[in-house]
């Protein structure tokens, strides 16, 4: 069952549309067709959900300038008209946006159904790992995709395009430069700022992949209590501190960039992916083997596979797995 934020969407929408000024309780009540007491109760419920709402006698109510709660209206504000959005589901919290998107896809949701959330209770990463998804600090989203004649290896293409789109979004909203560690990690200054998980459902009757769900989690701000000890030296965020509507803009910029890349010829985005790669030309540790091996990353081929050369001169093409990049090493 899909979780819902609350029945206060109309009130939230009114406040969001009047971010630059306060709206009196009387005006809110008249617009919504309810009593001022009912308005006050809804405001309190929104505050309990985490919305920052300022109130002053004789002036009314407004969303705080630093308010950055992910919402449908907030995301739509930053979407380019070219994004083929079919449906946008915004949740205060959920177990995993990928889980919700897969449920919708299984029910027949069209391509470009998007699920966003303020918090994930059980975010998932690759290889069954958990993905740290605290409230108020990350941008968490999943996109239902139904590419025609999709093959199993196309999952790498979607992940690759998503990594590039995350880089574009980060650079649109900040002065940071983002790079990619094959295949799905986006880094800033050598630290991970984003994780991407692409999952697919195989349709037995059609003999092909029925749909894919692209999940993306971006660290917009440092968590309130900091990153857990095991992540403190490995993770970073796009912004050093909270800014008004920062996460909504980050999501909107990502969806805009991804929609453009998703429909672009492969030669265009593959060249940029190679240019942004933090692995090519460097020594890497291939960790997806029974016994990790050192190698040099040589290229990313047309299928988004990583071409490596092991220390004994043997070459291999990796279609999946995990590597560790020695960022201090270059060509030698």
- Token pair 């025609």 is found at 148
Residue 208 CB-half CA count within 13 A: 10
Contact 216, 254 (CB under 8 A): yes
Q: What is the mean pLDDT of the chain?
A: 85
Query: If you average pLDDT over residues 232-260, what whole number do you get?
Result: 92
In this prediction, residue 4 has a pLDDT band, given cuts at 50, 70 and 90, of very low
Q: What is the pLDDT of residue 194?
A: 92
Q: What is the pLDDT of residue 265?
A: 76
- Token pair 């790669």 is found at 277
Query: If you average pLDDT over residues 70-78, what whole number do you get?
Result: 88
Contacts of 168 (CB under 8 A, 6+ apart): 253, 254, 257
Query: If you average pLDDT over residues 97-104, what whole number do you get?
Result: 94
Element (H, E) at 148: none
pLDDT tens by residue, 278-316: 999 999 999 876 788 999 999 999 888 899 999 999 999
**Multiple choice CATH, 283-325, 2.60.40.10, 3.40.50.880, 2.30.30.100, 2.40.110.10:** 2.30.30.100
Query: If you average pLDDT over residues 137-145, what whole number do you get?
Result: 94
Query: If you average pLDDT over residues 159-188, what whole number do you get?
Result: 94
Distance CA 103, CA 53 (A): 33
Q: Is the pLDDT of residue 11 over 50?
A: yes
The CATH fold of domain 72-276: BirA Bifunctional Protein; domain 2 (3.30.930)
All CATH 2.30.30.100 domain ranges in the chain, comma separated: 283-325
- Domain 9-63 class in CATH: mainly alpha
Kindly give the pairing relationship between strand 138-145 and strand 208-219: antiparallel
- Token pair 């933090």 is found at 278
Q: What is the pLDDT of residue 5?
A: 45
Kindly give the pairing relationship between strand 185-188 and strand 178-181: antiparallel
All CATH 1.10.10.10 domain ranges in the chain, comma separated: 9-63
All CATH 3.30.930.10 domain ranges in the chain, comma separated: 72-276
Distance CA 271, CA 265 (A): 11
């Amino acid at each position: 069952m899909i979780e819902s934020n609350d029945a206060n969407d109309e009130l939230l929408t009114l406040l969001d549309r009047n971010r630059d000024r306060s709206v009196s309780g009387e005006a809110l009540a008249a617009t919504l067709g309810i009593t001022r007491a009912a308005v006050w109760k809804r405001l309190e419920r929104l505050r309990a959900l985490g919305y920052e709402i300022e109130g002053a006698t004789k002036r009314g109510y407004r969303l705080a300038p630093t308010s950055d709660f992910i919402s449908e209206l907030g995301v739509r504000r930053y979407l380019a008209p070219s994004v083929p959005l079919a449906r946008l589901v915004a949740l205060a919290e959920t177990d995993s946006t990928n889980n919700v998107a897969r449920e919708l896809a299984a029910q027949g949701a069209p391509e470009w159904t998007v699920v966003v959330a303020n918090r994930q209770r059980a975010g998932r990463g690759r290889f069954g790992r958990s993905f740290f998804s605290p409230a108020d600090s990350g941008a968490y989203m999943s996109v239902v995709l139904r590419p025609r004649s999709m093959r199993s290896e196309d999952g790498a293409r979607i992940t690759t395009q998503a990594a590039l789109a995350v880089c574009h979004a980060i650079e649109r909203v900040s002065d940071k430069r983002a790079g990619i560690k094959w295949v799905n990690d986006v880094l800033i200054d050598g630290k991970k700022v984003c994780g991407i998980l692409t999952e697919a459902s195989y349709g037995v009757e059609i003999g092909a992949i029925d749909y894919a769900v692209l999940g993306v989690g971006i660290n917009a701000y440092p968590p309130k209590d900091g990153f857990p000890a095991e992540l403190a030296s490995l993770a970073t965020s796009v912004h050093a501190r909270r800014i008004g509507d920062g996460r909504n803009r980050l999501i909107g910029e990502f969806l805009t960039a991804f929609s453009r890349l998703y429909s672009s010829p492969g030669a265009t985005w593959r060249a940029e992916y190679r240019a942004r790669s933090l692995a090519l030309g460097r020594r890497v540790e291939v960790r997806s083997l029974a016994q990790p091996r050192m190698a040099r990353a040589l290229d990313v081929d047309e299928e988004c596979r990583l071409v490596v050369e092991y220390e004994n001169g043997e070459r291999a093409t990796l279609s999946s797995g995990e590597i560790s990049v020695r960022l201090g090493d270059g060509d030698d």
